[in-house]
């Protein structure tokens, strides 16, 4: 079964730590071992796993993405959000995280981040938890 939870973004580009919300889905599923798939059903948003201990890492990621894919360029897409589509494609729409002993098997400094590139918006995150089948 797929669970969803909302994410409300407040700026054009931002990374929001959703680790706790994903862990809550895992907890409700009641599995000890398995995998957790996090999927973003939006073409101008993404999901990534990275450091969640120092907020400057998130700021640096956004700064460099904005340098690589500038907001103003001669894009052809008439809606005006081509940079958001490109950034979402670069980071990707899904992540897979192992579940061990009922918890996400993330590294010490790792967190799961929803990546907004065309905000502010109301978004959804899909989470599927699959048993390890021991």
Tell me the CATH number at 88. 2.60.120.460
Q: H or E stretch including 129?
A: strand 122-131
Closest by CA position to 111, among listed 27, 8, 34, 18: 18
Examine the pLDDT at 80 and tell me if it is beyond 90: no
Give the confidence band of 1 by pLDDT, cuts at 50, 70, 90.
confident
Sheet (strand 14-17) strand order: 14-17, 110-116, 45-51
**pLDDT at residue 133 tops 70:** no
What mean pLDDT is predicted for residues 84-101? 98
47 pLDDT more than 90:
yes
Query: For residue 118, which phi and psi values (nearest 5 degrees)?
Result: -145, 45
Contact 91, 40 (CB under 8 A): no
Give pTM, 2 decimals. Answer: 0.96
- Domain holding 43, by residue range, is 2-131
For residue 21, pLDDT beyond 80:
yes
Instruction: Check pLDDT > 90 for residue 99.
Output: yes
| The token pair that represents 51 in the structure block | 């450091």
State how many domains the chain has.
1
């Amino acid at each position: 079964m797929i669970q969803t939870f909302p994410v409300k973004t407040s700026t054009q580009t931002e990374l929001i730590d959703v680790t706790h919300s994903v862990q809550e889905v895992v907890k409700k599923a009641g599995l000890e071992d398995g995998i957790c798939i996090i999927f973003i059903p939006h073409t101008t948003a993404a999901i990534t796993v990275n450091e969640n201990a120092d907020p400057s890492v998130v700021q640096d990621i956004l700064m460099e993405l904005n340098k690589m894919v500038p907001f103003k360029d001669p894009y052809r897409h008439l809606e005006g959000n081509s940079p958001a589509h490109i950034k979402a494609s670069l980071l990707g729409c899904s992540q897979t995280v192992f579940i061990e002993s009922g918890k996400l098997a993330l590294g010490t400094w790792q967190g799961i981040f929803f990546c907004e590139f065309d905000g502010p918006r109301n978004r959804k995150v899909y989470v599927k938890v699959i048993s390890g089948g021991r």
